[in-house]
Amino acid sequence: MTTEERVTQLEIKETYLEETVMTLDELLIKQGRNLETLLKRVEIIEGQIKQMQKGEVPSERPPHY
């Protein structure tokens, strides 16, 4: 394999690696957003549980009504 062929192969690999890194970065950002959403929901649910334990009735109707 000549030096030029090796360089070409390395450039091809670099292109695939850059694409992979970009894809992984996008997925990581999406997962971060999903995690934030889930954490907010957990906080809401924890608040509702605390209200129920105190004997308070939640002010909002469940979504199935």
Q: Is residue 3 within a helix (H) or strand (E), and if so which, with residue range? A: helix 3-53
Cα 62 from Cα 25, distance rounded (Å): 37
Q: What is the pTM of this model?
A: 0.65
**Predicted pLDDT of residue 51:** 87
Q: Residue written as tokens 């105190």?
A: 54
- Domains in the chain: boundaries: 27-52
Give tens-digit pLDDT for 18-36.
Answer: 999 999 999 999 999 999 9
Contact by Cβ (8 Å): 15, 21 = no
Q: How far apart are CA 25 and CA 32, in angstroms?
A: 11
Structure tokens that stand for 24 in this block: 């992984």
Taking the C-alpha atoms of residue 35 and residue 29, their distance in angstroms, rounded to an integer, is: 10
